Chains A and B, each alone.
Chain A
């Protein structure tokens, strides 16, 4: 009798847990599967189709697009796509690094403020991102044009010829990227700092002499989840970004996001675009795997990145 009651309880509990699981994970996952995974199946399958006269996919199935992606075109092999890939990696690395350097002190400073002021300060950091990306970039184009204080200063130091401006250049692209992605790092870092145990930092302050070691032993472990989340939020969109390189870099150097977008637009080659997208998705997921592993290692075996 009592056994059956216990069993009933455990079934009920099991049942409750299942509904709880479905209730929490269900809506989000179903939403993504229904409105993204399903729709994208067709477009991904396009990667294995033949390119039609105006860039639209046709039968039969082929691996031609992947060959083309590897650089084999009508004109023989070319390393063009490889350059594009490396350039995108390089740019992502620099931008993410700089964003981390700037976001850490900002997020920390905000978290040390009285609690009623924090939301406002967070808002101040985020609001520039609510004006359109093109508009912001346009502001930078004007700030870095020839004959502006910034460009003149750079020219005085001999960094650029006097009749040229700081824009367009790869320097301008990096500035634009850092500007654009800063909030994506500040937000998760702030969420991490907000819950940080300041006593540990204070103790570490007494224990270790240099700020670097305080950071390494007391701050970093506590904010690691936020840092890793921020790195994902910044590096992945930066990897596929193309509007900013286009506008601030003068469209001189193609990025991966650019390569994909072009195939669906001016280059008129949907199969190639889908193939490039597929490779890009796999590469990014690979990058994520590495990030998660780094996170696990730094976090002492805990899964710190979702």
Chain B
């Protein structure tokens, strides 16, 4: 027993010594990136490190609210680049957690497709530059639920599917948006009466025996192949990725943008207000917006590129649906609205209500 304690102590001291050693040598210039996981080709990182003789440290977040609270608690002085989705951009700007982009340092901004050049959530790209974009649609098991399912009724209509388990997305705004769309109010509904009806629908759906649970989009893709669920909500790019990774397991899994409407989203690069290396951050944003790098990024993530100059260099699978939706599909896909103040509180109370019952 004493030997055990002694050897524990020894190994402890050893690791401490090592730690002291490594921290002393890290003095070169470093770029800190806070991003979603599995969202960046490591080769791009390496290439940038070599080209500019810097070190890149990457941290990841699980959800936007989590990233937001970390930034709020003082994290805005820790990171140089963050990659929030469209509906969190206004929130970050208005709370002063991000800084304006210096367009003179980002000439490649002109590579962006006109659609992404002047977005509604950040007019004139004053604070943000698009990184990747995609859609959130319906995933379903073709064998059990039909070859061509293109309605949210598969979840919200109690008669359409009484037997097979299904999941909804844990992000309240997305799931409520889908319920709104199914009820005919449109994905972007913000009217309180409409919200109440949508919340009621989600609550009723939640109580059904074959409702499996609230989960994130990508884990649902794993669950559907496993048979845990037969229908769910997920992202186009991850669907294409899993399908190419294991064609056999995903042969019977379909992805559609339901006729009632669905979500389109853009993730954007932004620079926190007190970033340690804002200059290097600008250089990095410019690098990502390069045509070739943009194509390389998309070919790795399986999401479509907002970079117009990169489009011709995308893999074939990315040039067709669902990675690149058809015009008709795009027309019925909408951005998630950015809420604030009383609207945000009313919505959250409703959603808390749905979750606590």
Contacts and interface: CB of A to CB of B under 8 A. Distances in A.
Interface residues of B, number: 46
A251 B345 contact: no
A78 B354 CA distance: 11
Contacts of A231: none
A78 B69 CA distance: 27
Interface in B161-192: 163-165, 167, 170-172
Contacts of A249: 213
Contacts of B165: 146, 163-165
Interface string B306-341: 000000000000000000000000000000000011
12 contacts: A51-B345, A56-B95, A75-B353, A119-B4, A163-B210, A250-B167, A250-B215, A251-B214, A265-B69, A267-B351, A268-B348, A269-B345
A142 B344 CA distance: 36
Contact of B68 (A168, A252, A254, A265): A265
Contacts of A73: 349
A86 B357 CA distance: 12
Nearest to A251: B214
Interface in B211-245: 211-215, 223, 226-228
B214 A250 contact: yes
Contact of B212 (A54, A80, A250, A253): A250
A130 B63 CA distance: 25
A104 interface: no
Contacts of B353: 75, 78, 80
B63 A54 contact: no
Sort A-B residue pairs by CB-CB distance and give the 6 closest, nearest first.
Answer: A250-B213, A265-B65, A80-B356, A251-B214, A266-B65, A267-B348
Contacts of A74: 342, 345-346, 349
Contact of B163 (A116, A163, A265): A163
A216 B80 CA distance: 62
A68 B352 CA distance: 12
B349 A75 contact: yes
A130 B228 CA distance: 27
B95 to A, nearest CB: 5
Contacts of B342: 74
A268 B349 CA distance: 11
B9 interface: no
B55 interface: no
Contacts of B72: 56
Nearest to B67: A265
A109 interface: no
A224 interface: no
B196 interface: yes
B352 A75 contact: no
Nearest to B341: A53
B209 interface: yes
A81 B172 CA distance: 18
B66 interface: yes
A51 B342 CA distance: 10
Given A54-B340, A74-B342, A147 B69 contact: no
Contacts of A147: 227
Interface in B99-139: none
Interface string A158-196: 000101110110000000000000000000000000000
Given A119-B1, A167-B228, A252 B63 contact: no
Most A C-beta atoms less than 10 A away, residue of B172, B196, B350, B356: B356
Given A54-B91, A267-B352, A252 B206 contact: yes
Contacts of B68: 265, 268
Contacts of A253: 355-356
A9 interface: no
Contact of B214 (A78, A145, A252): A252
B94 interface: yes
A84 interface: yes
A41 to B, nearest CB: 15
A108 interface: no
B112 to A, nearest CB: 27
Given A164-B210, A265-B63, A251 B69 contact: no
A54 B167 CA distance: 29
Interface string B131-155: 0000000000000000000000000
A115 B352 CA distance: 52
A161 B209 contact: yes
A75 B215 contact: no
Given A165-B165, A250-B214, 15 more contacts: A53-B341, A75-B349, A119-B4, A141-B228, A163-B210, A254-B355, A259-B352, A259-B356, A262-B352, A265-B63, A265-B66, A265-B68, A265-B69, A266-B65, A267-B352
A165 B94 CA distance: 45
A252 B213 contact: yes
Nearest to B342: A74
A83 interface: yes
B192 to A, nearest CB: 8
Contacts of A54: 91, 94-95, 340, 344
Interface string B269-304: 000000000000000000000000000000000000
Contact of A168 (B163, B196, B212, B350): B212
B352 A254 contact: yes
Contacts of B214: 250-252
